[in-house]
């Protein structure tokens, strides 16, 4: 199992690295650090999420997420609004600029991977498709672990 885990991690990390580098070159705007991109994705998936909940989702310390929130708010990609139930807490929303940028990233990533998949054999693409449910279960297990 250790060898399988090592090969899987190498493949996934390698794919992510290549896609991230290629997309950075293709999408306009100053490249964002990975942690900022991950926070934007969490907020886009959970509009109105609080800093503490986002920190739990990202497995980061609250103060680390607060720093990311400040950076993204300063760059116009994230908006903080006071929580009506607790004025001390902030609710996070992505801005229109962030939504546009994320859509451009998604199009670029999807296009890049789709083009690469088209160059594989039908057997290889079928094997990847058949592996996806198991990979999604593995992701769920890993996310649930403390």
Of 100, 101, 81, give the one whose Cα is nearest residue 32. Answer: 101
135, containing H or E segment: helix 122-144
Could you tell me the CA-to-CA distances from 49 to 44, 86, 116 in Å, in that order? 9, 13, 35
18, containing H or E segment: helix 2-26
- What are the start-end ranges of the H helices in 46-121? 51-58, 62-74, 96-118
Residues 80 and 122: their CA atoms lie apart, in Å, by: 47
- pTM value is 0.79
Residues 63 and 36: their CA atoms lie apart, in Å, by: 14
81, containing H or E segment: strand 78-83
Instruction: Tell me if 63 sits within 8 A of 88, measured CB to CB.
Output: no
Residues 8 and 5: their CA atoms lie apart, in Å, by: 5
89, containing H or E segment: strand 86-94
SS3 of residue 82 by DSSP: strand
Mean pLDDT, each 10-residue run in order, the chain (146 residues):
94 93 82 91 96 93 95 96 84 96 92 96 97 95 85
Count of CB atoms situated within 10 Å of the CB of 43: 23
């Amino acid at each position: 199992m250790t060898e399988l885990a090592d090969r899987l991690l190498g493949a996934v990390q390698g794919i992510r690295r290549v896609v991230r580098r290629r997309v950075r070159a293709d999408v306009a705007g100053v490249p964002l650090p990975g942690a900022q991109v991950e926070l934007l994705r969490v907020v886009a998936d959970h509009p109105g999420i609080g800093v503490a909940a986002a920190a739990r989702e990202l497995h980061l310390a609250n103060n680390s997420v607060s720093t990311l929130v400040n950076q993204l708010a300063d760059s116009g990609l994230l908006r903080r609004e006071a929580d009506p139930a607790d004025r001390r807490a902030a609710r996070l929303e992505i801005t229109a600029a962030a939504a546009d940028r994320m859509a451009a990233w998604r199009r670029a990533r999807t296009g890049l991977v789709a083009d690469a998949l088209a160059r594989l054999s039908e057997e290889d693409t079928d094997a990847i498709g058949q592996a996806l449910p198991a990979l999604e279960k593995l992701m769920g297990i890993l996310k649930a672990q403390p």
